[in-house]
Amino acid sequence: MAAKSMTIILHSGDLDKAMAAFILASGGAAKGMDVTMFFTFWGLNVIKKGGADRARLSKMNMGGLGTSMMKGVMKKHGVPDMNTLIKDCDELGVRMVGCEMTMELMNVPKADLVPEVRDIGGVGTYLDAAREGHVNLFI
Amino acid sequence: MAAKSMTIILHSGDLDKAMAAFILASGGAAKGMDVTMFFTFWGLNVIKKGGADRARLSKMNMGGLGTSMMKGVMKKHGVPDMNTLIKDCDELGVRMVGCEMTMELMNVPKADLVPEVRDIGGVGTYLDAAREGHVNLFI
Amino acid sequence: MAAKSMTIILHSGDLDKAMAAFILASGGAAKGMDVTMFFTFWGLNVIKKGGADRARLSKMNMGGLGTSMMKGVMKKHGVPDMNTLIKDCDELGVRMVGCEMTMELMNVPKADLVPEVRDIGGVGTYLDAAREGHVNLFI
């Protein structure tokens, strides 16, 4: 029987890694999987209000493209932007959890996070989900 | 019973991460596991013709070594280079899949990829493999 | 039934990623899971004597903080430092394995590693553990 659940730790705040995380999460949820995303360290920046727009590529370019050009290319090819992906994930039932420790260290109150992040939790919260999942990724 | 399958997403184009991915993939296949590698974002560069030779270390040095010196040290110690690892993986039956979206965004036709990459697919292709696997890594 | 075991490959030598790895490992072990950590490439630096103190953040800052300020913030908030986490993991029974190939390439004898690393092994050692685990992460 195919695995029914997936967890993704997003530790990176880079645009390309965050995009990969949300594309995997929405793809899994669209297939009927239970998906939990856990945002920690730099990954927390992505789910701060306005944070998705500030994320940059991890490298100077990708096939010669900078962050703005890449966003243009994605738009042209119909790839949803990160704000849309976050909304899609929420509608598909992806559970998004902010890392409690990171929020404390970086002084980020829950009110600063996008409303699609409904939960706050720690390593125990993540592990409880991961132990039930088969597809567990650290990005 | 030990898990029979493994999937690896290679998102990074760095020499050291790509080496790790291919060493894990060939090691798994040599143990009789079904292995699927999915090359996305920067990872696609590694499977472009000539791409394995252009990959660089993610850091300026490793124990004081730059990319060329590291390659020399690897050779001296009998570690196969990336082109050899790709061939080994192919011979051991590792399935290598290029990410359709990345190819479209970066304008890379299938003809530009090394022949060992026999399939092109999307997030659904990856998830179908990952859901059957126990060892699923994002690199 | 919840998964009983976890493996973590630490490939990165960055402070923030190493911290995440040890926090996950100690959290899992505290829940009664069998945890194996495998230190490879840059990750080997972290388990060299004195290496935990030399690790730096992967980005210039996190919420405006550099490595030293971040360490201060962590201390203030009661987050254990990396040397303490390594000791905690050892006491909780986390198995720490140094990568044989990396040690050979970087000329690192076992005597240069912290004593909590009791084993040396290769990709086969890792895969034997990962195939029995459900939560397998590459960091």
Taking only the tens place, the pLDDT of each residue in A99-131 is 999 999 999 999 999 999 999 999 999 999 999
Taking only the tens place, the pLDDT of each residue in C102-138 is 999 999 999 999 999 999 999 999 999 999 878 999 9
Cβ–Cβ below 8 Å for C16 and A137? no
pLDDT at B58: 76
Cβ–Cβ below 8 Å for C33 and A133? no
pLDDT at A56: 83
The chain-wide mean pLDDT, for chain A, equals 91
pLDDT at B70: 82
Residue C14 CB coordination number (10 Å): 23
pLDDT at A48: 97
pLDDT at A3: 67
Which runs of consecutive H residues, i.e. helices, occur in chain C? 15-30, 43-46, 51-54, 67-76, 82-91, 100-105, 123-130
- Binned at pLDDT 50, 70 and 90, residue A58 comes out as confident
pLDDT at A64: 57
- In CATH, what number is assigned to the domain containing residue C78? 3.40.1260.10
pLDDT at A55: 86
Choose from C41, C101, C126 for mutation: most chain B CBs within 10 A. Answer: C41
ipTM, interface predicted TM-score of the complex: 0.92
Closest Cα in chain C, distance from residue B111 (Å): 31
Residues 32-71, chain B, touching A (beta carbon < 8 A): 40-42
pLDDT at C65: 66
Cβ–Cβ below 8 Å for A123 and C74? no
Question: Distance between CA B138 and CA B99 in Å, rounded?
Answer: 14
- Binned at pLDDT 50, 70 and 90, residue A57 comes out as confident
Lowest mean pLDDT, pick from A29-38, B44-53, B56-65? B56-65
- Of all residues in chain B, the percent with pLDDT exceeding 70 is 94
Taking only the tens place, the pLDDT of each residue in B78-103 is 899 999 999 999 999 999 999 999 99
Cβ–Cβ below 8 Å for B27 and C127? yes
Taking CA–CA distances from A41, the nearest residue in chain C reads C16
Taking only the tens place, the pLDDT of each residue in C61-83 is 555 567 888 888 889 889 999 99
How many structural domains comprise chain B? Answer: 1
Taking only the tens place, the pLDDT of each residue in C15-59 is 999 999 999 999 999 999 999 999 999 999 999 999 988 888 877
Domain interval for residue B11: 5-138
Taking only the tens place, the pLDDT of each residue in A39-49 is 999 999 999 99
Neighbours of chain A (3+ CB pairs under 8 A): B, C
